[in-house]
């Protein structure tokens, strides 16, 4: 079946570098906003005296936005085009960041969760528009490599967020210590300034981006799939969406309880602030892995790279479950190096050869990011009942599916009903 690309008005070759730079900035910003949850979660856990299961609602509030809003965001992108969709996403993110101000004043966990959801709504709009745009900027053969490069900037934001968050609003008080009412109020107020700065940067960038005359693809509203075609008839897309569900769930499981994990006496016996620094090391591994993946996938098929990375991530997670002390810490930190290629590679493989269904395919994939909302509470429940150490079996099992997708599920087959 012949497929036509929706990018009939693709950017001229001489503009590609500049457009990639703009996209990289956007990737950095939503990476920073997403990763900051890793230190915000233990911070709110202390303020509101939450158990592990309750604290993972931070991730549920964030990643549920993907399930609710991905398809509407894809429809909006089809009407507005990539640039306007990105501007809208930045604006919504900025508004969500501003909501942290009243959340801190009211000292309300519910208002914090609402602010996180709105912030995530903007991130969802950026994810839906930015990822397919990067994959379609050039040859489909190098789409995985190109998206890995863009995602490296996402990882820079993810690496910086825990470090800066740890400095700005994680205290040196042990995670197990109960806070007084005055300490709770002070801790909540500490969140204000970082999120106000984030809001200002996001809104300024939205204004700047709206004024740029970029040679972005035209609106996709006129693009129509061939009669009888559907996203559900492309098995590599459907299975890839499940791969995204598993991968994002695994990533957020690893990072959302990471600070609490390293403060355990038999693991790292660290303060939350010190543990946040190690979380930045995990995200540094993401940067290194994505840069290496960009080069490796120019010569080795993306599916094989994905399967290998998943197998090693599985081995490292089992290692941290079975050990204590420095080995447990090192193995969980190193997981980031091998997780690095998973999201961009699964995404690029899943949208390959979709043609006019690319926008809808992107929406479906981004809905699957809800794995980040659903799996962390499962891990939180296990952490409360069998221990934080053993709860890491949840991400380990997710890597098994990613391994399968890299080896087999990603292969493009005849568009038959799945």
pTM: 0.74
Q: What is the pLDDT along the chain (418 residues), one digit of tens a residue?
A: 334 344 444 444 435 666 677 777 778 888 888 888 888 888 888 888 888 888 889 988 998 998 888 888 878 877 887 778 888 999 999 999 999 999 988 888 999 999 999 999 999 888 877 776 676 666 666 666 677 677 778 878 888 888 887 777 765 444 445 667 787 788 888 888 889 988 998 898 888 878 877 554 444 444 565 666 777 888 889 999 999 999 999 999 998 889 889 999 999 999 888 888 898 899 889 888 888 887 888 888 889 999 999 999 999 999 999 999 999 999 999 999 999 889 889 988 998 888 777 777 877 888 898 898 899 999 999 999 999 999 999 999 999 999 999 999 888 875 544 4
| pLDDT (0 to 100) of residue 15 | 52
Q: Which domains does the chain have, with CATH numbers?
A: 13-216+224-409 (1.20.1250.20)
| pLDDT (0 to 100) of residue 176 | 47
| pLDDT (0 to 100) of residue 312 | 97
| pLDDT (0 to 100) of residue 183 | 77
| pLDDT (0 to 100) of residue 327 | 96
| pLDDT (0 to 100) of residue 29 | 83
| pLDDT (0 to 100) of residue 143 | 67
Count Cβ atoms below 10 Å from residue 305 Cβ, excluding itself.
Answer: 21
Directed axis angle between helix 57-80 and helix 109-135, to 10°? 40
| pLDDT (0 to 100) of residue 141 | 67
| pLDDT (0 to 100) of residue 226 | 65
């Amino acid at each position: 079946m012949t497929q036509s690309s929706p990018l009939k008005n693709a950017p001229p070759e001489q503009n590609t570098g500049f457009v990639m730079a703009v996209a990289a900035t956007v990737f950095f910003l939503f990476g920073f906003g997403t990763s900051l949850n890793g230190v915000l979660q233990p911070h709110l856990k202390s303020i509101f005296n939450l158990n592990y299961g309750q604290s993972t609602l931070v991730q549920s509030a964030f990643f549920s936005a993907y399930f609710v809003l991905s398809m509407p965001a894809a429809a909006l992108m089809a009407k507005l085009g990539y640039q306007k969709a990105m501007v809208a996403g930045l604006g919504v993110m900025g508004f969500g960041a501003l909501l942290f101000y009243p959340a801190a004043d009211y000292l309300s966990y519910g208002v914090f969760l609402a602010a996180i959801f709105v912030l995530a709504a903007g991130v969802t709009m950026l994810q839906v528009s930015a990822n397919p745009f990067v994959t379609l900027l050039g040859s489909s053969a190098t789409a995985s490599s190109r998206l890995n490069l863009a995602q490296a900037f996402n990882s820079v934001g993810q690496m910086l967020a825990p470090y800066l968050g740890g400095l700005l609003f994680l205290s040196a008080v042990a995670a197990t210590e109960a806070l007084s009412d005055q300490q709770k109020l002070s801790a909540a107020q500490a969140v204000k300034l970082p999120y106000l700065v984030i809001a200002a940067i996001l809104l300024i960038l939205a204004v700047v981006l709206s004024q740029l005359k970029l040679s972005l693809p035209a609106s996709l509203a006129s693009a129509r799939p061939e009669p009888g075609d559907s996203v559900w008839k492309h098995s590599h897309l459907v299975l890839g969406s499940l791969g995204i569900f598993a991968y994002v769930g695994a990533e957020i499981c690893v990072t959302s309880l990471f600070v609490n994990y390293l403060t355990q006496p038999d693991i790292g016996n660290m303060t939350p602030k010190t543990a946040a620094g190690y979380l930045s090391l995990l995200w540094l591994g993401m940067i290194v892995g994505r840069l290496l993946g960009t080069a490796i996938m120019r010569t080795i098929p993306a599916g094989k790279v994905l399967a290998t990375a998943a197998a090693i991530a599985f081995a490292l997670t089992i290692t941290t479950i079975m050990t204590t002390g420095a080995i447990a810490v090192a193995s969980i930190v190193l997981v980031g190096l091998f997780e690095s290629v998973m999201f961009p590679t699964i995404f690029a493989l899943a949208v390959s050869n979709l043609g006019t269904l690319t926008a809808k395919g992107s929406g479906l994939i981004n809905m699957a990011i809800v794995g980040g909302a659903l799996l962390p509470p499962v891990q939180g429940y296990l952490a409360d009942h069998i221990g934080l150490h053993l709860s890491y079996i949840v991400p380990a099992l997710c890597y098994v599916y990613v391994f399968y997708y890299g080896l087999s599920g990603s292969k493009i087959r005849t568009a038959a009903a799945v």
